[in-house]
Amino acid sequence: MLGLEDTTFAGIDAVALVFGVVLFSLVVQGITYKPILDSLGLTGSSDELTRYEALLAETFAMRSAERELEEMRRAGEIVACVYDDIHRDIEAQREAAEAGLAKLARDEHGVRTRQTRLAAPRLAAAQKQALSEAARSGRISESIARDKSKQIDLALQEGEKAQAEGEEPEEPTLFPDEEAKG
């Protein structure tokens, strides 16, 4: 081991000791890994995430079908009574899937956390883009746009930090109130 001629120290085999420490570490980490990640909201059960993705896929598909059906109606490819029947069915399927998604988001912490993590950066980017466009057009000053953009970045970082520590912000916001800061 490590090029040492004698691998025993005080009558203990160093190779066996190192092997035991590594094995113990792997076992302890392996046993505690999932519960720790679950408590931090970083994972969800595979069943809940599978249900979430299946319902999300169904809402995507039904929204696409609704758009295509509307296009067919506008182009005169389908008569009004058939359109109404099909639209009612598609709308009912979409609403059922959306209700299932809402229930999962309400009841399952992992789903809520996943959606928040996906939404927060996109919302922050949209807010910063709006500020940039408002500054370019002269509706607000560059300094105000810069200050508000920094606030958005800070709020996003605070939200990420809170989630990493297993906390949920009381009222998640990407654009904190000026008065609340003081």
- Is the pLDDT at 171 greater than 60? The verdict is no
What SS3 state is found at 9? strand
- Is the pLDDT at 81 greater than 80? The verdict is yes
The pLDDT tens digits of the residues spanning 136-149 come to 999 999 999 999 99
* Residue that has been written with the tokens 């999962």 in this structure: 104
The pLDDT tens digits of the residues spanning 38-78 come to 776 666 556 888 898 899 999 999 999 999 999 999 999 99
Residue 168 is predicted with a pLDDT of: 56
Domain map (residue ranges) of the chain: 8-39, 45-107, 109-182
The pLDDT tens digits of the residues spanning 102-124 come to 998 888 887 888 888 888 899 99
CA 50 to chain centre: 15
Q: How confident is the model at residue 10 (pLDDT cuts 50, 70, 90)?
A: confident
Contact 69, 87 (CB under 8 A): yes
pTM, two decimals, is 0.53
Q: Which residues pair with 9 in a beta bridge?
A: 12
Q: How many CB atoms lie within 10 A of CB 36?
A: 12
Residue 170 is predicted with a pLDDT of: 45
CA dist., res. 39 & res. 50, Å (int): 19
CA 136 to chain centre: 32
Token duo for residue 103 = 């229930």
Encode 134-145: b = buried (16+ Cβ within 10 Å), e = exposed: ebeeeebeeeeb
CA dist., res. 65 & res. 60, Å (int): 9
Query: If you average pLDDT over residues 4-25, what whole number do you get?
Result: 81
